[in-house]
Amino acid sequence: MEQKDKSKHYFWIFYFDPKDNRMFVPKRFGIGWTVNFGNPRAVLLFVLTIAGAGLLAKLF
């Protein structure tokens, strides 16, 4: 497993690396994945997901 550069994580949870083309990267701590906020496609998907959840919450 590769060693992650700690300078690409902000506030211990946000990952930002424009040179990394992955949309999702393994979490720094724990199990799961996190969004690469340096990838525009990942940010768009994240925003659309949050907007969709807000729309669904407003409908019900």
pLDDT tens digits along 19-49: 999 999 998 888 999 999 999 999 999 999 9
Distance separating alpha carbons of residues 24 and 43, to the nearest angstrom: 10
pLDDT band at 3 (very low <50, low <70, confident <90, very high): low
Q: In the chain, where are the structural domains located?
A: 6-59
3-state secondary structure the chain: CCCCCHHHEECCCEECCCCCCCCEEECCCCCCEEEECCCHHHHHHHHHHHHHHHHHHHHC
Query: Is 28 within 8 Å of 47 (Cβ atoms)?
Result: no
Strands 14-15 and 9-10: antiparallel
pLDDT band at 1 (very low <50, low <70, confident <90, very high): very low
pTM beyond 0.85: no
